[in-house]
Every structure is written in structure tokens, then in C-alpha cells.
Chain A
């Protein structure tokens, strides 16, 4: 806030769908994009008399996530029914966790404005996702809504932060950090377009120096960093205006209108909090073995924040590069291996951040789906370092690798791209060029040193870019100066 009259207080509830094979309580497949209602059964449709049974892997994923966010893992945990009516919730209640979540009291460190910030994690719990409501677009009838239950009962992790965030931008940075963590530990694909990673944000303002929280408003179920950022920024200003005028902020759920960039109240929260939670009688409670927790802890990979730090320390690359290279675990693995194999971390980083990323972007794929591997890229780097090819030729070679999956050495051989470092071969071309371009050659002798560039260009052209540019330079100078 520009005037610093108020302090902004933001807390996030993040939801991530787990990428398990089967749903949380039944054997239906977890898969996005299938035809509506083709992944359902009596359990995820909430038919009377069915019995949910806990998915073992979902439980493990939740504990892994809790550990990755530095939480205490409960030794005893249970599930509860959260009661409310909505057409996407077939049972009339959601199986969730109330007073004994699987994990609590953790923290997530994230980078914001060149500093490491820490957000306390209040709790992490496991619940089932609801179905998906489709409006008018199924038949075009505006008076009906339609429900697809493929998503019903998909394992959903809820991560509740303490209201530790002090600006909309910081909230987004934290949200991104959680996304990275969940992707790193391989529990969720966090695909925002597909809705498998979403968040509710609540925001309030209080006079600077005040300990008491102001009245908060809530933004529900958003799956876009940009939208949440814009909505929170709008809301920050709106609340400040109300407080400036001596008014009071009303506790409401807000709808953010993309077109106007404004928020407006969605529905009254009056009854919404009366969920009448009670223990889920269909699921037996869980006792979590501390040894099992330690086993799961030992399987955690190096997390993004640690990895960034190590990349800077071990490889001596700039923090900016380390940040870029650790955006996804696959990219970080790719860099790690390339740096090790090639023995040149800086060159590895440059190639990955430059040509490799450009090729991935234009193909619209991630590194894990590309034909280029660390073995390919490190071989390319070796070829440049060894003087076999020039950096310029290497750019065409990497594009070729990307296309065909062939190794750089093979491509260089097949296409005859090896740099000419043989003095006599280059000398012959240099002599030809000087003879053919006597004008520029004379210009150079007369002191117009710029003419050398033209002559170098001609030699490179005659050798189709394969001559070693340094040798060309030296030979030309020797001939013309001598």
C-alpha cells in the first residue's frame, strides 16, 4: 500500500488434487478429460449403503506433502463429515477432516523481492473433491445446470496457511512455492487449467501497528495466479477506501469479474459456516506409525529452495539462473545432470535457459517430453569446448537434436559440420578471399581496420561457417599485415 496507513493481511487455502491412479474411496480412475460421468460408481456417486475405503497412496501423499512443508504429522487422525447441500456433492456431505488433520504446524519458505520469507502452515488435511457443475452450455437451456461426477471423490489436499502474507504479490509468490513443492514431491501435477490446483484467498486490512485483525473477505476457488493477484489488489484498495470513509467491511465471499476487474459479493456467509461436522462413521481412524513417517521423510527429494541454494553454492551460477532452472523438478534434474556430465555448469545453464527453453516453448512441451537429454546437451558442450564446432553451428545442432533425438557427434559427422581448424585448409580459402576482394583488402592495408570484418565474413561464408573464426582472424591479419 502506497500510504502505509493499513497493513494487508492475507491467508490462503490451497487445494491440490493428487495424481493417484484411483479415487480416494473407490476404484474409479483419476483421469482428466474423459467423457462426463464415465468414471463413476455407486461410491463416488454417493449411493446409499456403500462403504468408502481409504486409498493408501493418497494417505502417503498427504503425509509426504505435510513433511515437505515442515509439518508435524499426527500420530492419530480421523475423518469427518462436512455437511452442506450443493448439486456437485452427491452425498450431501464431503468427507474431510475437522479437528484431527493429518499434518499441522509447518512452514514454507519462499523467495519474494530477493528475500526469503516464511509462511506458517496452520494445517494440511485430506478430503474428497466434489463433482463439476456445467452451466447452460450442455443443451443451451439457461434454466438447467448439469453435473459431471468424474471428479467426485478425487483425493484433494487442503493446505491452510496462517494469515502471514502481507501483500497480494507475496501471496502469489507463496502459492507458486507450494505448487513447486507439490510437483517436486510428485503428488500432484498441479495443472491449473484442468483445475487440479486452486485456492481460496482471504484478505483484510488493519491499521499499521494494530494486533487485531480486520474483517476479512474471501475469494473462492480460483485457478489463476493473475486473477487472484488482480482480485486481491482490487480488494485491497476497495477495503482501504471503505475504512478511509469510516465504514466497515462486510464479511462476504467475493466474485471477481475478469472483464471489469472488480469484485462483488457472491452470497451471504450467514449459514455457510454451519457445516455440523461429525466423525465419519464409515472410516476407521488412522494411527500413523512414526517409523513409517521417517521412511516417507527419507524418500523426499531435494526441495526447490534447497536445490536453488545448492546450485548457487556448488555450481557457482547466479541466483537468477538457479531460480529459473529449478522451476520444475524435471528441468532441475536436467540441469544437474548436464552440469555434472559436461563439467561446465555455466555453459549448461546458458544453453538450457537459451536455446533449449526456446525450443521447448515453441514445441509447447516440458523437458521430460523432449528428445534432448543431459547426455545430448553435455556432448554438445564438449564439442564446442574441444573446438570441434563453433557456438553458431552448435545452435543448429541442438535444433537438430531436438528434432531427431540423434547425438550431436553423429549430426556433426553426418552433416560435415566439424569446424575447420586445419591451418593449411583455412589458409587456402583466405588466399582466395583476399584475391577475390582486393578492394577491401587494400582498404585494410590503408588503415581501415573495419574491412577485416568483411573479409572474415567472406571466409566463413566460403567454409559454410565451419572455419574456426579465431584462426581465420589470425591468418587474415598475418597475410594482410605481413
Chain B
């Protein structure tokens, strides 16, 4: 079995801003280890002559021209926000 500790799960949960109960933490620790084991099967393949890839499609250099077009209407944009004020998205206070 791959080694995943409850601390790993707590760390990742914290990064993802998720909160788990102790029971859930145990459960995910076990499940994540199994998932990693399954993915680990790929290590059995001989990839000596396979070049590394970072993209699944054989395409390159997809670009657009640098042309500006009208943006969305602000009222429409802000209509999707949980809270808006004076043309801004409103969020809980961020302390810097």
C-alpha cells in the first residue's frame, strides 16, 4: 500500500479549505492510499523510450491575435456574484 498518513490528508484538506471530521479523515486516508496504488500500476510500464508529455493532445502553439473586443456588461457580470457593491464584487474582509 502507498503511504498516506492522516497528516497528509489534513494538509491537503487545509490547502483546499475543506474541513473533515476525524472519521472522514480516516476514511479518505485509506481511500487515497488505494487510489495511489491503482495509479501506481503505471509504474509497471517500461517508458524508457517514451518522451515526457505535458498535454494529452498532439497540438502546439495555439494563439489568438491581440485584438480587444467589448467586455461583458457589468450588471450582468455582477449579477452572478453572491454580493456586490458599487460596481465591485464584495468579499469578506481580507487582512494583509
Q: Which residues of A contact B (CB under 8 A)?
A: 20-22, 27-30, 35-42, 45, 47, 53-59, 78, 83, 85-87, 133-135, 138-139, 142-149, 255, 266, 271, 274, 276, 279, 281, 283-287
Nearest B residue to A288, CB-CB? B61
Q: In the complex the two chains form, what is the Cα distance from A53 to B69 in whole Å?
A: 14
- Dominant secondary structure at the A interface: loop
Interface membership of B43, Cβ < 8 A: no
Nearest B residue to A155, CB-CB? B66
A21 touching B55, Cβ below 8 Å: no
A28 touching B68, Cβ below 8 Å: yes
Q: In the complex the two chains form, what is the Cα distance from A46 to B14 in whole Å?
A: 22
A281-B72 contact given A59-B63, A138-B88, A271-B15, CB 8 Å threshold:
no
Residues of B within 8 A of A133 (CB): 94
Interface membership of B35, Cβ < 8 A: no
Residues of A within 8 A of B85 (CB): 138-139, 144, 146
| Contact residues, B1-52 vs A (CB, 8 A) | 11, 14-15, 17
Q: In the complex the two chains form, what is the Cα distance from A37 to B85 in whole Å?
A: 11
In this complex, how many residues of chain B approach chain A with their Cβ under 8 Å: the count is 36
Q: In the complex the two chains form, what is the Cα distance from A121 to B87 in whole Å?
A: 41
A276-B15 contact given A28-B68, A56-B66, CB 8 Å threshold:
yes
A284 touching B66, Cβ below 8 Å: no
B92 touching A145, Cβ below 8 Å: yes
Q: In the complex the two chains form, what is the Cα distance from A53 to B90 in whole Å?
A: 28
Q: List 26 A-B contacts (CB under 8 A).
A: A20-B66, A21-B67, A22-B67, A27-B68, A28-B69, A36-B86, A37-B74, A37-B87, A37-B89, A40-B74, A53-B64, A54-B62, A56-B65, A86-B94, A87-B94, A134-B88, A135-B93, A146-B90, A146-B91, A149-B89, A276-B15, A279-B55, A281-B55, A284-B57, A284-B59, A286-B61
Q: In the complex the two chains form, what is the Cα distance from A144 to B77 in whole Å?
A: 20
Q: In the complex the two chains form, what is the Cα distance from A142 to B94 in whole Å?
A: 10
Nearest B residue to A20, CB-CB? B66
B64 touching A284, Cβ below 8 Å: no
A36 touching B15, Cβ below 8 Å: no
Q: In the complex the two chains form, what is the Cα distance from A56 to B94 in whole Å?
A: 35
Which among A21, A45, A83, A284 has the greatest number of chain B C-beta atoms within 10 A? Answer: A284
A287 touching B61, Cβ below 8 Å: yes
What's the nearest-Cβ distance from chain B to residue A460, in Å?
Answer: 58
Residues of B within 8 A of A148 (CB): 87-89
A38-B74 contact given A53-B62, A85-B17, A285-B55, CB 8 Å threshold:
yes
A41-B71 contact given A145-B92, A145-B93, A149-B89, CB 8 Å threshold:
yes
Q: In the complex the two chains form, what is the Cα distance from A226 to B72 in whole Å?
A: 39
Residue among A27, A54, A274, A287 making CB contact with B67, cutoff 8 Å: A27
Residues of A within 8 A of B56 (CB): 281
Residue among B14, B61, B68, B74 making CB contact with A35, cutoff 8 Å: B74
A37 touching B78, Cβ below 8 Å: yes
Q: In the complex the two chains form, what is the Cα distance from A276 to B77 in whole Å?
A: 30
Residues of A within 8 A of B54 (CB): 78, 279, 285
Nearest A residue to B78, CB-CB? A37
Residue among B17, B72, B93 making CB contact with A40, cutoff 8 Å: B72
Q: In the complex the two chains form, what is the Cα distance from A21 to B89 in whole Å?
A: 25
B88 touching A147, Cβ below 8 Å: yes
A37 touching B77, Cβ below 8 Å: yes
A146-B96 contact given A56-B63, A56-B66, CB 8 Å threshold:
no
Given contacts A36-B88, A284-B59, 6 further A-B contacts (CB under 8 A): A37-B89, A54-B63, A54-B64, A55-B66, A133-B94, A148-B87
Nearest B residue to A29, CB-CB? B68
Residues of A within 8 A of B14 (CB): 271
Q: In the complex the two chains form, what is the Cα distance from A145 to B95 in whole Å?
A: 9
